[in-house]
Structure formats: C-alpha cells, structure tokens
Amino acid sequence: MLKAGDTAPDFTVQDHTGRTHRLADYRGKNVVLWFYPKADTPGCTAEGCGFRDHQPTYAQKDAVILGISFDTPAENKAFAEKFSFNFPLLCDTDRKVGRAYGAADDASAANARRVGVIIGPDGKVKAWYPKVDARAFPQEALQQL
C-alpha cells in the first residue's frame, strides 16, 4: 500500500454539492483525506464531527480536510447538512479513489475501509493509516501536520 514519500495518486471526484475536486487543486497545502464506510453511522459521525470541530486548527496549519466515501451525493449531502460539516464530502461512487488509496480492494466493495491519508503540499504522502480509530483520528492527524 501507500507509504510516506510516495506520490499521492491524483483523483478527480465530485463532492456532495456537485463541485469537482482534483488533488492537484490542493498543491501547496496539506491535505487530510479520510475515508469512511457509510454516511450518518455512529463511527463516521464521530469522525466527521471531530474534523468539523478541529477545522479552525487545520486551517491554521494550512490543511484541507476531505472526507470520502462510496455514498451517493444525496446521502453525503444529507450527512453534511445534518452535522454542519465545514468541509467537502467526496462521493467516490465508482471506488476508483478508494482502490488507489487502499480503502477498497475492488469496485464491488460495498463500503470504504476507514483509512486515513495525510498528503503534503508537494503532493507526497506524509502518512498512510490502513485503519484508524474514528474518534481519535481527527486529533492524531492534526499532530502529524
């Protein structure tokens, strides 16, 4: 899987509002990419709320938070609105990003694995976490920046 120093796989994917995001758009910033299994489930909610609550500190560290799951835009939109998330939720419905980042083995995966990735301003992987604790990862990722 990915390791520190690898070039982060580029992606182009839409978020819950229909906006297109490319990893290349974030060059020059730190990116925290957090894969979550299913919108509006207890662990995913805890993780998302942790990122929401720490977002001002991430911004101070010139870091962008991108949540990503295999959910539809409608499911992610409802999730984002219900919990007032202040960052995009990317909709990887074809599982391409999940496969590239080790959050899914193939396109038939029902849900993403709870994987965390920190990407540096140079587009290189700073850290790749194959399994994160939903409640702890938002704070742990901050410490890595």
Contact 24, 11 (CB under 8 A): no
pLDDT value of residue 127 = 96
* Alpha-carbon span 57 to 143, nearest angstrom: 11
Q: The domain 28-144 belongs to what CATH superfamily?
A: Glutaredoxin (3.40.30.10)
Higher pLDDT: 29 or 1? It is 29
Q: Which helix (H) or strand (E) holds 91?
A: strand 89-91
For residue range 37-80, list pLDDT tens digits in order: 999 999 999 999 999 999 999 999 999 999 999 999 999 999 99
Q: CA 20 → CA 9, 14, 23, 47, 89, distances in Å?
A: 16, 4, 10, 23, 11
DSSP class of residue 15 equals B
Asked if 44 is an active-site residue, the reply is: yes
DSSP class of residue 14 equals E
Model's pTM, two decimal places? 0.94
Contact 53, 23 (CB under 8 A): no
Q: Out of 39, 44, 104, 117, pick the active-site residue.
A: 44
The predicted model gives 9-25 an average pLDDT of: 97
CB 117: neighbour CB atoms within 10 A?
24
pLDDT value of residue 1 = 81
Cα end-to-end span (Å), the chain: 21
Whether the pLDDT of residue 8 is over 90: the answer is yes
Whether the pLDDT of residue 31 is over 90: the answer is yes
For residue range 79-130, list pLDDT tens digits in order: 999 999 999 999 999 999 999 999 999 999 999 999 999 999 999 999 999 9
